[in-house]
Structure 1
Amino acid sequence: MRGYVLSIWNWLDPIYYFFSRLTLLPCEGAKSNIFRIRVTKYKGRNVILSDGTRINKNDILVKIHLHNAKLLKELKDIKSDLKKAKFIYHYVQKSLPEVEHYIRECRQAYMIKGIVGITMLNKGCERLGFEVVDISNPIYKWFKWFAFLPIELLAEKHTSWEILISRKPNYLFMSTNKLSEMYKG
């Protein structure tokens, strides 16, 4: 059953990609980048990051999206949840330098304050340089939880409903200064 759902997902993914205005990052080396990105205006509540960067409504950020179809395809043969978490961690770590390079070379670079993502996979994010911030709008939080539910069900075979219900989506932020400090070149 999972195989069929993944096949359908892989078929629908290019359509989602087209309508979401996401961009694939050019990549060096054997593995491609796990992120698809787009420059966007932030619409959440104001946030002050630990390095003093203020993210306000309508500030320009690079929104990062995990390429879930690709990720699920690569995770399908990994049985251990710990090995899956390590795989995702290292994939994100190897992909962030290309995000930094994209921002540095972007014609809007001087306006971009940072990167933002939304995820339910927030363990270990701080070690990657992200700051985890709660989503304050309960309707938007519920919408994102519901949107992530199929991914969670496909990624983890033995997750109980209690665990799924207890997980919540969060914003992940990183300022462009911190991104450059950690991942430049």
Structure 2
Amino acid sequence: MGHTTKKTRQERNRLQMNTSLLMLWGFWDEIYQRCTRLKYIEKGNNIFRIVPLRYRGESLVTSDGQSIHKGDLIVKIHIHNYYFATLCNGVKDELRVALLLRRHIMQSLPKLATYLEGMNNREEIKGIVGTTMLHKGVQPLGFSISDVPMNALFRFKRWYLRLLIRLIHPDGKRRVQTWRQEIPLKRVYMSKEHLLNRYGSNSNEPSGELF
């Protein structure tokens, strides 16, 4: 009985601490948004923020055989981690977190495709590219996955994303500890043609199922 009470108290304290950290994160996210070129697809209703830029990584070949090379124009996609963390606040089950992320990616991709269709330089854009630790299950949605080089930039990003996962994931502390000898940070990408064919306004393809 006493052990159960102690465990309940610890869980309550953890949730209170996470709520406080989320509030601070929200303030920081607003500052970060204003200091970067990231654009919302649809604030509060889309999990992506994006920025068009020139690709600077290694050459990529997408699942439909398209190539993305250094210097090509891409749409860099960022999962809006703060927004997703607020959606996951209080969720304790790991599978529910994974399903929630997948569902929001599926709901967000058609709006991302519509946004890209309306861009003035859409003909020049080669594809969408992002880096994330939350890449499990995205291949059936049309993404390809590859490793990233562990240079200073990606080491910092890996550290930052590990910190976020400790907040987002219901068992984040244990999960991050199991990654000490692994590098789960991955690059995810999709060609513009595949994005528009699958999720665009004239799409005739199914978007995929939830497992």
User: How far has the Cα of 1:24 moved from its partner?
Assistant: 0.9
Identical aligned pairs, as a percentage?
A: 31
**Count of residue pairs the alignment pairs up:** 182
Aligned to 1:163: 178
Give the alignment of 1:87-98 within 5 angstroms.
87-98=100-111
Which residue of structure 2 aligns with residue 40 of structure 1?
Answer: 53
- For the residues of structure 2 that align with 1:149 and 1:137, how far apart are their CA atoms? 15
Deviations for 1:15-51, whole angstroms, at most 9, x for unmatched residues? 1111121111147xxx711111111111111112232
Distance 2:162 2:35 in 1: 21
Q: List structure 1 runs of 4+ shifted beyond 4 angstroms.
A: none
Q: Which residue of 1 aligns with 2:191?
A: 175
Task: Give the TM-score of the pair, scaled to structure 2.
Answer: 0.81
Q: What is aligned with 1:79?
A: 92
1:68 equivalent in structure 2: 81
Inter-partner Cα distance in structure 2 for 1:136 and 1:152: 21
Residue by residue, what CA displacement relative to the aligned partner does 1:126-176 show, whole Å, maximum 9, x if unpaired? 011110011024433322211212211101243424323235211100001
Q: Which moved more, 1:143-152 or 1:116-125?
A: 143-152
Q: Answer whether contact 2:63 2:142 (CA < 8 A) is retained.
A: no
Secondary structure of 2:100 counterpart: helix
Number of the residue aligned with 2:34: 18
Question: Which structure has the larger Rg?
Answer: 2
In the alignment, the residues of structure 1 paired with residue 177 and residue 58 of structure 2 have an alpha-carbon distance, to the nearest angstrom, of 29
| C-alpha RMSD of matched pairs (Å) | 1.6
Alignment partner, residue 71 of structure 2: 58
Q: Does 2:20 correspond to 1:4?
A: yes
TM-score normalised by L of structure 1: 0.92
